[in-house]
Each structure stands twice: as structure tokens, then as C-alpha cells.
Amino acid sequence: MSGRKTFDWRLFTAWTILLAVSVAARSYVEMANQQRIGRPIGLDHALAIELTSHVVVAALLPALYWLHRRWPIGESVRTVTIHVAAVVPFSIAHTVGMAALRLLWFSAILRTDYSFPLTADRLAYEFAKDIVSYGMLSAGVLALRYLFDRIPQRADPALPPGGPVAGDTAAEITAAELPVSGTPAAAPSAAASPPFSERFAVRKRGREIMVEMADIDWVEASGNYAVLHVGGETLEIRSSLSKLESELDPKRFVRVHKSYLVNVTRITEVTPWVSGDWRIRLQDGAEVNLSRRYRQRFESLVPVKS
């Protein structure tokens, strides 16, 4: 039941393009600056300076995504403070990392001397630049999340149970809901409702681990897999989110986003976010989007009172 996560190539491609454009633009600026002060450098030298910096930035992006997921910026003064404080370790890691890469690149590839003294003045200079870099990267994280949240990675095989929501242009009606010609539609029988399992087994490191449905905090889609978040632990199963949704108790689990299912008993807070979306905070500290598309279903289980 376990397996590898499907990588989101859209995100990888977007950041590759953005960083490549940044490398090209900054290399040109570096060459122009050195030419202006009378110390011209070649393209290989300029590329070495910018590539080493951008490689470290790319390596730090997963940590940046984790920070924004754990503490969404702009949600409160506390989360803003956390991101302001995060600039310090970000700058230190970026500066030390690119210094090491540059020394290696210049000595091993360009066969020339290069000096990068980690003095207080140099660290302060790099920190000033990294404040801007952190802000621009954070803006990129939020912009890409906003964009990709509205562009499905793949067609969802089923609309959320409960029918269409406000804003949909077409409603999907199941065959059971369509009356046969000349025959009145029969009212659904409560006895016909499928039973929902209270526990199931998940394979992890060669062992079958029993998971209680009530212990699942939330579930996120990951390509052909679903990631269960259970008490701070993550378990991966091979299942689409729509299929798993049909196997979970709809009175307990609700779809709040094309990529998320949440256990309503684990919700601690719901707050407005951007563009009509909301943010849901769970008992394990995680925060997920409540999309406008799924808000009607959510409020049918968890009414939001003004």
C-alpha cells in the first residue's frame, strides 16, 4: 500500500524557470557593475557567482515552504514575527553555503583563486540582501500556491459528495438520482447507505499498522497517493483522495480543498484568508485552505456563525 510520492513537476518547473531567469539577469548586472568600476570579469566568472547563490536558494526552498505551511504569513502578528526571525538562519545558511560552493567552484572548475571572508561586515552585507531575497521568495511561494490551487494537477475523477456548489457551471448527477423514464424516483433508503470502516491497515517499513479512522487529523493528496496525518505522523497509501473520501464517514471527514480532507473533530480554528478562501487550523498545528468551492459542504457540517 505504500510507495513513492508523485512529484509536483509544475512547481519544480516554475521555480526552475524563475531561478534561471534570475541567474541570467543577475549575471548580466554583475558583469556590468564590474565593468563600470574597471574590473571586468568574464561570463564564466559571473555565472559562477550567481549559480552558487541560486543553488543554495533552491536547496532552502523546501524549508521555506514548510515555514509558510506551518505559519502562514500575514495570519497574525505572531506568524509575521516568526518569518522575520527566520530571515536570520536563512541568511546564515545562504551565505555559508554559497561561500563554500564558490571556493569549490573557483578552485576546482575555474582553476583560479577566490576569497570570501566571512567577516561581520560581509555577513551584514549579505543579510541586507537576504531580507529582500526572503521577501521575494515568500511572494513567489504565495503566488504559485494561489495559482496552482486553482489549476488542478489532474482531472478529479469525481465531484465532492453532496453535489455542486455555488459558482459551478454544471452539476454532476449520479445515475441513482436520475428517474427512469415513466418511473418516479425512489427515495434513498437509509439501510442502503454503505458501512464505513472504523479502522484499516497501512503498510509501513514492511509492517501492517492499524489506523483508527477517528485518529486521522487530515489527509492530503499527493499524485496517485494520499498522505494520512495521524497524531503528528504521516502515512502514505496508494489511493486517490476522491476514492478515500468515499470510504470515510462523511459526518466526520469533509473535503475542504481539491487536495485536502479534514476530520471536523480535529478543527480548532477557521479564519478568513485571501480571495474568499479560509484557513483551517487543526489540533496538530497544521493549517490548510478551505476553498470557496467546498465551503458550502463544510458549513453543512460545521456552521460558521458570525
For every residue of 22-48, DSSP letters joined together read HHHHHHHHHHHHHHHTT----HHHHHH
From CA 264, how far away is CA 294, in angstroms rounded?
A: 14
From CA 158, how far away is CA 152, in angstroms rounded?
A: 13
Give me the phi and psi of 203, to 5 degrees please.
-80, 130
- Taking the CB of residue 134, how many other CB atoms lie within 10 A of it? 22
Bridge partners, 230 (sequence order): 216, 233
Please report the beta strands in 197-292, taking only residues with DSSP state E, as ranges in sequence order. 199-204, 207-212, 216-222, 225-230, 233-237, 253-257, 260-263, 267-272, 278-282, 287-290
Tens-digit pLDDT string for the chain (306 aa): 333 444 568 888 999 999 999 999 999 998 998 888 888 888 888 898 899 999 999 999 999 988 887 777 765 788 889 999 999 999 999 999 998 898 888 888 878 877 777 788 888 989 999 999 999 999 998 888 778 766 655 544 444 444 434 333 333 333 333 344 444 444 444 444 556 667 777 777 667 778 888 889 999 888 778 888 988 788 888 888 888 888 888 888 999 888 899 999 989 888 877 666 788 888 888 888 888 888 888 888 877 665
CA angle 280, 59, 86 (to 5 degrees): 55
DSSP 83-122: HHHHHHHHHHHHHHHHHHHHHHHHHHTS-S-------HHH
Buried b (16+ CB within 10 A) or exposed e, 38-65: eeeeeeebbbbbbbbbbbbbeebeeebe
Sole residue written with cell 560552493: 101
Domain 196-301 fold: OB fold (Dihydrolipoamide Acetyltransferase, E2P) (2.40.50)
Q: Give pLDDT, residue 127.
A: 93
Give me the phi and psi of 212, to 5 degrees please.
-80, 130
Q: Residue 292, exposed/middle/buried by CB under 10 A (0-12, 13-18, 19+)?
A: middle
Angle between helices 120-148 and 9-36 in degrees, nearest 10: 140
Write out the residue limits of the CATH 2.40.50.1020 domain(s) in the chain. Answer: 196-301
Is residue 15 within 8 Å of residue 59, measured between CB atoms? Answer: no
Reported pTM: 0.53
Pairing of β 216-222 and β 253-257: unpaired
From CA 256, how far away is CA 242, in angstroms rounded?
A: 12
CA angle 62, 215, 242 (to 5 degrees): 70
From CA 299, how far away is CA 306, in angstroms rounded?
A: 12
